[in-house]
Amino acid sequence: MTTITIEKTDTMPQLESIIQNDGSFFDLIIIGAGPAGLTAALYAGRARLKTLIIEKALIGGMAATTDRIENYPGFPEGISGMDLSHKFEEAVRKLEIPIYYGDVTTISRDRSIIIEGKKIKAKAIIIASGTETKKLGVEGEDRLRGRGISYCATCDGPFYRDKNIAVAGGGNSAVEEAIYLTRFAKKVSIIHRREKLRADKILVERALNDPKIFMIWDSIIEKIEGEKRVEALSLYNNATKIKTKIPMEGLFIYVGRTPNSSFAKEVVNTNKNGFIKTDQEMKTSVPGIFACGDVISKSLWQIVTATGEGAVAAESARKFIEEEYSDNAKKTITA
Ligand code: NAP
């Protein structure tokens, strides 16, 4: 798998200086700088909340690795995920909100987080930590990761020029990325476990009409074969019950996503798959902790829903802080 790592540079805010300059107490900490987190920051900044964003990998999150986004309003010609992410980021930078690169390991009910062994407190927290790609879970996947197996077409697609490759999955990600990969590959086979794609109809039409895309229906990948690199896939056809082995030079895996919620799941309620449960105001089960974007349990995972939820989460956090930390509230606590 292509892991996106960020090298810390002198121009990036250092944790020590953030804690020292800001007294280690923030109004709001936002975990994740994807569309949801950045929109929450935009609204929080405009409400003049002292805000810190923490991102563990890439500003823009999954959206930033998408080649072309065609269903975010305002861009009738489409926009690259990276360009859209830069626009989201620019708005936040203008408000001088620090973005710190780091991995939050724990959050607590008292609205503090642990990062790099240090505790940072806030009056409210918004979890917008998104998802990561799910593994297929078959033999050969771990061993050949980065050697013919990839989870990021925009990162690794150019390495597969004129190659015969496959994409596992049948959702929007699999079909969108298969279409993108036709720019480089000689042939792209979509291997799907059913005979009907889950992806949006407009994408399905495009894929089925693409001369470089071939469908392998009703098929499960049982094993990824190869000594040093991916050489073949062992398939089992659910309909015919026949096993086959097909030569393949690369495999991109897009079989769904898992939420980045492990640091929070002992604290806030999640569904059985780890997606965080929220109400319409983006409140989690813990007062003062909110969640938005792909990490929450919902029915539509889109940039447009993530940004809307980010705005709602920030507004709910603002209200919570105002109510909880108003002079009246303090009097009630101390009375
Ligand atoms: P998804 O919609 O959950 O689709 C996962 C696909 O992988 C399904 O077709 C599923 O098959 C298949 N699959 C799951 N587990 C499998 C396994 N173990 N072996 C083989 N196949 C397996 O995931 P996604 O495509 O990553 O999308 C995630 C969310 O982001 C979705 O809500 C999607 O709409 C959204 N998204 C939107 C866009 C867009 O609007 N342009 C782009 C990307 C993602 P079954 O169909 O049989 O279950």
pLDDT tens-digit readout, 42-66: 999 999 999 999 999 999 999 998 8
Residues 206 and 238 in one domain: yes
* Mean pLDDT across 67-77: 94
* 256 touches ligand 1 (CB under 6 Å): yes
Ligand 1 pocket check for 108: Cβ under 6 Å: no
| Strand intervals (E) in 116-218 | 118-127, 131-133, 149-150, 164-168, 187-191, 213-216
Number of domains comprising the chain: 2
pLDDT band at residue 1 using 50, 70 and 90 as cut-offs: very low
Average pLDDT, the chain: 92
Query: Which residue's C-alpha comes closest to atom 39 of ligand 1?
Result: 172
Contact 292, 278 (CB under 8 A): yes
271 in the same domain as 236: no
154 and 222 in a common domain: yes
Instruction: Look at residue 188 and tell me whether its pLDDT is greater than 60.
Output: yes
Check if 63 has its Cβ closer than 6 Å to any atom of ligand 1. Answer: no
pLDDT in tens, 209-266: 999 999 999 999 999 999 999 999 999 999 999 999 999 999 999 999 999 999 998 9
Domain-embedded: residue 144:
no
To test the pocket of ligand 1, the residue of 134, 255, 257, 304 to mutate (highest count of ligand atoms within 8 Å of its CB) is: 255
**Residue 334 clears pLDDT 80, i.e. is over it:** no
Q: Which of 237, 253, 269 represents a domain boundary (last residue)? A: 253
CATH label of the domain that carries residue 211 = 3.50.50.60
Q: Which of 253, 270, 299 is the last residue of a domain?
A: 253
Report pLDDT for 326: 81
Tens digits of per-residue pLDDT, 128-144? 999 999 999 999 999 99
- C-beta separation of 42 from 129 below 8 A: no
Q: What pLDDT score was predicted for residue 19?
A: 64
By CB neighbour count within 10 A (0-12 exposed, 13-18 middle, 19+ buried), where does 33 fall? buried
State the pLDDT at residue 77: 95
How large is the C-alpha radius of gyration of the chain?
22
**Ligand 1 geometric centre to CA of 287 (Å):** 32
- In this predicted structure, the answer to whether residue 328 has a pLDDT above a threshold of 70 is no
19/160 same-domain check: no
Q: What is the domain range of residue 296?
A: 15-132+257-324
Residues 213, 197: Cα–Cα separation, whole Å: 14
**Residue 279 annotated in active site:** no
- The answer to whether the CB of 81 is under 6 A from ligand 1 is no
Asked whether residue 195 falls in the same domain as residue 269, the answer is no
For residues 114 and 177, membership in a common domain is answered with: no
Residue pair 124/320 in contact by the 8 Å Cβ criterion: yes
Looking at the fold, whether 265 and 223 belong to one and the same domain comes out as no
- Which position among 152, 200, 292, 294 bears the catalytic label? 152
* CB 43 near ligand 1, within 6 Å: no
Is the CB of 251 within 6 Å of ligand 1? Answer: no
Q: How confident is the model at residue 6 (pLDDT cuts 50, 70, 90)?
A: very low
162 touches 185 (CB < 8 A): yes
Q: Can you give the pTM of this predicted structure?
A: 0.88
* Spatial CB neighbours of 157, under 8 Å, sequence gap ≥ 6: 180, 181, 183, 184, 185
Q: Write out pLDDT tens, residues 294-309.
A: 999 999 999 999 999 9
Residue 68 to residue 88: CA distance in whole angstroms:
16
In a domain, 6, yes or no: no
Average pLDDT over residues 155-179: 96
Task: Give the model confidence (pLDDT) of 101-122 as tens digits.
Answer: 999 999 999 999 999 888 999 9
Q: Are residues 192 and 271 in the same domain?
A: no
pLDDT at 306: 98
Testing ligand 1's pocket by substitution, the residue of 193, 253, 273, 300 carrying the most ligand atoms inside 8 A of its CB is 193
Phi-psi region of 261 (alpha: psi -120 to 50; beta: other; left: phi over 0): alpha
- Which atom of ligand 1 is the closest one to the Cα of 69? 41
pLDDT at 330 over 90: no
**Among 171, 169, 157, residue whose Cα is nearest residue 216:** 169
CA dist list (Å): 99 to 15, 43, 84, 132, 246: 10, 15, 17, 20, 46
Domain identity same for 231 and 161: yes
Same domain, 181 and 248: yes
Task: State mean pLDDT over 93-106.
Answer: 95
Looking at 226, 253, 280, which one is the last position of a domain? 253
Distances (CA, A) of 9 to 100, 101, 261, 332: 11, 10, 27, 46
pLDDT at 155: 87
Instruction: Based on the residue annotation, tell me whether 83 is a catalytic residue of this protein.
Output: no
Residue 141 lies in a domain: no
